[in-house]
Chains A and B, each alone.
Chain A
Amino acid sequence: MSIKTFRQALNEALHLEMSRDKNVIIFGEDVCGGTGGTGEKDAWGGAFGVTKGLLSEFGPDRIMDTPITESAFVGAAVGAAMTGLRPVTEIMFVDFLGVCFDQIFNQAAKVRYMFGGKADMPMVLRASYGAGASSASQHSQALYPIFTHIPGLKVVVPSNPYDAKGLLINAIRDEDPVIFLEHKMLYDFSGEVPDEAYTVPFGEAGIIREGKDVTLISLGKMVNVCQEAADELAKENVAASILDLRTISPLDEETILEFTEETGRVVVVDEAYPRCGVAADVSSIIVEKAFSDLKAPIKKVTPPHSPVPYAPNLEQAFLPSSQNVIDAVKEVIRGEK
């Protein structure tokens, strides 16, 4: 066991799976070379350095750079997966997936269903998401709710290096299309990661901590924000539980409802836009299935319904902060029936 960054954990997962199964292939923009590089291949390993070192180990037949045409190479991944390969495709920013919705929504997501369960679609689409780097409106969104909306897709949003590695291994071994989203501000975040291969299953929320007063439900980078908030709240003798959803499709309803019953107070913290987002979805499930367990109305902590601002001060104001979470918790406690 050693301390590794989120980026290293993902790189290790790709390494292990490519060594284990020769059908695992990687393609995307600059996955061999990299932006800002000198043109020398393998110097960078993608826009965020996740695929670094794979080219020299596995060769150009299994890891290749594509032109800047997401529509073409995401379509190619769908075809490759149908022939039995296991493509792991990197899209620099989830914001760019808009140009290949047909490939994802109508092809990848429908193949198993429309061929009567006779076809597998073992593809993984990796992309960065999220605000905080001042990358402006077209490179900062948390678009996971769009994919969660589509039956047939699995959607994974890890919050820490241990889970990132186990979830990516699980994604590559899965027979269905997986949208795997990595918060760009988490790549340098480090934690303990075993060297061996292991899986983290889909549909099982992580229990980050247990506290009896309130449950904070969150995912991705917002889990860190919840942890900061919970640390502060503990000083005021408010004990918070934190659930890390890890995968939003499938969603671990059982654990969500179990903690709702135990604490009776829920705050959902989500970086996606508020309308039709994960916070809205999770809240509706709780209200529908565990209304009588609630001691107070659920609070959602999300950004406003607005594009992500470019100016750093506005971007910070846009993002949910630990103070926003603390305020929401206090409001829930005050708002008891």
Chain B
Amino acid sequence: MSGKIFPVSMPKWGMTMEEGKVTDWLISEGGAVNEGDEIVEIETDKISNVVESQTSGILVRHLVVEGSTYKVGSLIGVIIDGDVKENEIDNFIKKFESEEKIKTDTKEATNKTEKLQVGNLELNFLEVFCEKPEEETIVFVHGFGGDLNSWSYNQVELSTHFNTISLDLPGHGGSALEVDSGNVSELSEILISLFEKKEINQAHLVGHSLGGAISLLMAYTKPEIFKTLTLICPVLPGCKTNTEFLEGFIFADSRKQMRSVVSELYANPKIVNRNFIDETLKSRRFDGAKQALSKIKDANFLPSGEGSFQLPPLEEIKAPIQIIQGSEDKIIKFSEYDLLPPNIKIHELNGSGHMPQMEEHNQVNKIIEAFIHQTRGSI
């Protein structure tokens, strides 16, 4: 055999993903692919996305049919590069399937969220540890109205080199719905208490949207703990948040309404599937959920969409800061990049809306990882 055979397998996007549905083959059987080409569209219980080719060659086999669901890790296609005989492909498939069976039989239980009492609040969080326990920790802080599932595409991925923890902010997801004032300083203090209680004394912060502002305050208050700061589409002084979106994200009460609201989050609204909308609606239908979100919204945003809270000047934050922006963000408008301190690196991702950590997760993960490695030497 002078050529090479490469598997295309069902990806694992996020902790809870156990299977995925093949919705559309984007390359037909026998078609040529280049590295990075979109091969097949997969829908999970959360979201739809595409599998990119890890190699160049010919997609010789579609092993699964559109509309059906397959386990994570199962072989869905085969790519060859060079001269490969039919029976070699058949043997490859047989071997892959028998090995995969052993792997799935011995696979560990899916990661489960845990709860911890912080003050009088119960907080829901998810830890995914790296195999090397001495590694540093990445902390993920989601934005307004979201939950720890905002990091479905990032946490597992980044846990190959880091210990990771994501959490539900008070008033969100599986955490207690009671908030006192609901403003970002209160929220950042609660999170700091969580980390003190968990004895995490070195961590890298990744904060999205309002979670960016919260992360900024945490880094300012506890420079000895938080070593780097990655802000994704953050709420910063001088930015304007789409308040119509905030209102709709809390109060939309039918699938139709919620779909039109949630679509605003993404550059490509097709990424939103029915399950994601149902889950968002479900979370709003708990007693007290809408009130908690309203309170947090009113405590942090003026009717104009400007933030009503004070953030420390970015120059006074010790941790190196980088910002990841979506070029088509419809939620937060920020035009004062020129006024930011010059040492803050800004990555603008094309084709991404307000959720680059989902829409362009590969790039975002690489940017986060590179940033932490690069700053390690200087710490």
A237 to B274, CA, bound (A): 22
Q: Taking the complex as formed, is A198 at the interface, i.e. its CB lies under 8 A from any CB of chain B? A: yes
Q: Taking the complex as formed, is B85 at the interface, i.e. its CB lies under 8 A from any CB of chain A? A: no
Q: Taking the complex as formed, is A239 at the interface, i.e. its CB lies under 8 A from any CB of chain B? A: yes
Contact, CB under 8 Å: A204 / B254 = yes
**Given A204-B254, A254-B256, does the pair A239, B285 have CB atoms closer than 8 Å?**
no
Query: Which chain A residue has the least Cβ–Cβ distance from B287?
Result: A197
Contact, CB under 8 Å: B253 / A201 = yes
Instruction: Choose, from B62-70, B298-306, B358-366, the stretch at the interface.
Output: B62-70
Contact, CB under 8 Å: B69 / A234 = yes
A210: which B residues are within 8 A, CB to CB?
21, 274
Contact, CB under 8 Å: B274 / A207 = yes
A204: which B residues are within 8 A, CB to CB?
254-255
A288: which B residues are within 8 A, CB to CB?
none
**Given A204-B254, A207-B274, A207-B278, does the pair A194, B286 have CB atoms closer than 8 Å?**
yes
Q: Mark B247-262, 1 if CB is under 8 A from A, else 0.
A: 0000001111000000
B25-76 contacts to A, CB under 8 A, are 65-69
**Given A201-B253, A204-B255, A254-B256, does the pair A234, B286 have CB atoms closer than 8 Å?**
no
Contact, CB under 8 Å: A166 / B285 = yes
Nearest CB of chain A from residue B117's CB, rounded to whole Å: 16
A129 to B256, CA, bound (A): 33
A193-226 contacts to B, CB under 8 A, are 194, 196-201, 204, 207, 210-213
**Given A201-B253, A204-B254, A210-B274, does the pair A237, B65 have CB atoms closer than 8 Å?**
yes
User: Binding site of A, secondary structure by majority: helix, strand, loop or mixed?
Assistant: loop
Query: Which chain A residue has the least Cβ–Cβ distance from B69?
Result: A234
Nearest CB of chain A from residue B254's CB, rounded to whole Å: 7
A1: which B residues are within 8 A, CB to CB?
174
Q: Taking the complex as formed, is B282 at the interface, i.e. its CB lies under 8 A from any CB of chain A? A: yes
Query: Which chain A residue has the least Cβ–Cβ distance from B177?
Result: A196
A13-29 contacts to B, CB under 8 A, are none
Contact, CB under 8 Å: A196 / B286 = yes
A166 to B285, CA, bound (A): 9
A312 to B145, CA, bound (A): 51
B274: which A residues are within 8 A, CB to CB?
207, 210
Contact, CB under 8 Å: B67 / A212 = yes
A166: which B residues are within 8 A, CB to CB?
285
Tally of B interface residues using CB under 8 Å:
18
A196: which B residues are within 8 A, CB to CB?
286-287
B69: which A residues are within 8 A, CB to CB?
234
B255: which A residues are within 8 A, CB to CB?
204, 255
Contact, CB under 8 Å: A234 / B68 = yes
Query: Which chain B residue has the least Cβ–Cβ distance from A200?
Result: B285
Q: Mark B282-300, 1 if CB is under 8 A from A, else 0.
A: 1001110000000000000
Contact, CB under 8 Å: B285 / A198 = yes
Query: Which chain B residue has the least Cβ–Cβ distance from A234?
Result: B68
Q: Mark B131-163, 1 if CB is under 8 A from A, else 0.
A: 000000000000000000000000000000000
A180-201 contacts to B, CB under 8 A, are 194, 196-201
A100 to B255, CA, bound (A): 37
A207: which B residues are within 8 A, CB to CB?
274-275, 278
Q: Which of B275, B285, B287 contacts A201 (CB 8 A)?
A: B285
Q: Which of A201, A237, A255 contacts B68 (CB 8 A)?
A: A237
Q: Which of A200, A239, A254, A255 contacts B67 (CB 8 A)?
A: A239
B275: which A residues are within 8 A, CB to CB?
207
Contact, CB under 8 Å: A211 / B67 = yes
Contact, CB under 8 Å: B68 / A198 = no
Q: Show 8 A/B contacts (Cβ-Cβ < 8 Å), sorted by A.
A: A198-B282, A201-B253, A201-B285, A207-B274, A234-B68, A237-B67, A239-B67, A254-B256
Chain A residues within CB distance 8 Å of chain B? 1, 166, 194, 196-201, 204, 207, 210-213, 234, 237, 239, 254-255
Chain B residues within CB distance 8 Å of chain A? 21, 65-69, 174, 253-256, 274-275, 278, 282, 285-287
Task: Knowing that A210-B274, A254-B256 touch, tell me 6 more A-B residue pairs with CB under 8 angstroms.
Answer: A197-B287, A201-B253, A212-B66, A212-B67, A234-B69, A239-B68
* In the complex, the 7 A-B pairs of residues with the closest C-beta atoms, listed nearest first: A239-B67, A197-B287, A198-B286, A212-B67, A199-B285, A198-B285, A196-B286
